[in-house]
Structure 1
Amino acid sequence: MAANRGEQEALLTPAEVASMFRVDPKTVTRWAKGGKLSSIRTLGGHRRYKQSEVEKLLENSGMMIPEDQLPFYKGESED
């Protein structure tokens, strides 16, 4: 099995996901534990979430956030 050496998908922290849904980061963790959202664990044991999956969940929830209000990871720099 060959490893994918192409561009890797952006991973979001619980705080970034929480800000997109306007909920507490603990709520995002509960969603992951409940199977609503899958997570990836870092070597340090922290949860990370695939940006594409989070955006799909956001769309399906009907809570679209205007692009100018999205966090910096949408291509903007944090200057």
Structure 2
Amino acid sequence: MSAHSPESETLLTPSEVATLFRVDPKTVTRWAKSGKLSSIRTLGGHRRYRESEVRDLLNGVPQPRQTAS
């Protein structure tokens, strides 16, 4: 069993991710659209990002490419 269950995963806003990388929030949205970073949509349609994935990217850990099925 995984240490991080999806229900307990901390989610970050585009603004929070942008602050960590010192980029504009629109850049974070472009990363999500290009597949560099995966996002989760809230019921209101807003993007949220998994903190663990953001931290891995920030630390230079390569992310596996997600393929469309």
Aligned to 1:14: 14
Return the alpha-carbon distance in structure 2 between the equivalents of residues 34 and 56 of structure 1: 17
Aligned-residue CA RMSD (Å):
1.9
TM-score by length of 2: 0.77
Listed as ranges, the gaps of 5+ residues in structure 2 are: 62-69
Identical-pair percentage: 74
In the alignment of these two chains, the number of paired residues is: 57
Match of 2:44, SS state, is coil
Listed as ranges, the gaps of 5+ residues in structure 1 are: 62-79
Which contiguous aligned blocks of 4+ residues in structure 1 show a shift greater than 6 angstroms? none
Bigger share in helix: 1
TM-score by length of 1: 0.68
Aligned to 1:29: 29
> AA paired with 1:48?
R
